[in-house]
Amino acid sequence: MIRCLLFLLVLFVALFLFSSMGEAQIVYQAYFSETDLVFDRKGEFDLVTLKGGIRSQDYGCPHLPIKLIHFILPNESKVTDVTVINKQHTPLEGEYLLFPSQPDEKTDGSYTKEWVKPDPQVYNSDSLYPPRLVEIVEEGYLAGNHLITLALYPLQCKPKSQRLIFYTQLDIRVELNYSEKMSLSSQIQRRQNSLLVVHLYLQQ
């Protein structure tokens, strides 16, 4: 898994599309399979998780899985937009009363977990939740390299009708802008350093 992520991250650095206007973009294709979904029950609620994914943190809202992906960007770049440019989805059979996300439970006895009730504004609506399929969750620097983390949402729900929509493919475009044009030598040097930086990042 680490080798696969390492290859993908380095490949993305090499696939920046530069223009004479100092703009660039990354196009990333994410694929998901129904075999990666795990279904469980918590009391009266349904709980859906994704292998290799993390859980949402919007307390009181439907608990849905998140897939994180990481990119290395040139230091001179600034992210101007992140969008879904293509998607393929399928409705899942059945009805699902999704478990409302809860705060992490501490086990040292210093904190008593309080139940967060389902948010009625969300659960009584059939607007798609979450409303977005991708968003930036973290951006910063590691070993002098510009890093960005995106959250992908392969599942959306219609809470009131208790329906689930599963996205088997999400094509993501990250648009960049440059304050100054990068030289070819700096691009090559950064790609040579990418293997070490990605390795360190994935080990955290």
Count of domains forming the chain: 1
The CATH number covering residue 112 comes to 2.60.40.3800
Question: Which residues, 6+ apart, have CB-to-CB distance to 32 below 8 Å?
Answer: 50, 67, 154, 166, 167, 168, 169, 170
Is the pLDDT assigned to residue 166 strictly greater than 60?
yes
The average pLDDT across 127-142 equals: 93
Q: What is the mean pLDDT of residues 91-105?
A: 92
What pLDDT is recorded for position 103? 87
pLDDT of residue 20: 40
Which whole number is the average pLDDT over 188-202? Answer: 41
Buried b (16+ CB within 10 A) or exposed e, 17-42: ebeeeeebbbebebebeeebbeeeee
Q: Name the band, by pLDDT with cuts 50, 70 and 90, for residue 143.
A: confident
Helix/strand/coil percentages in the chain, nearest 5 = 20, 45, 35
Residues 60, 48: Cα–Cα separation, whole Å: 15
Give tens-digit pLDDT for 13-59. 434 444 445 678 889 999 999 999 999 999 999 999 999 999 888 99
In a 10 Å sphere around its CB, with 0-12 CB exposed, 13-18 middle and 19+ buried, how is residue 83 labelled? exposed
Tokens at 177, concatenated: 């802008």
Q: Which residues span the domain enclosing 48?
A: 2-203
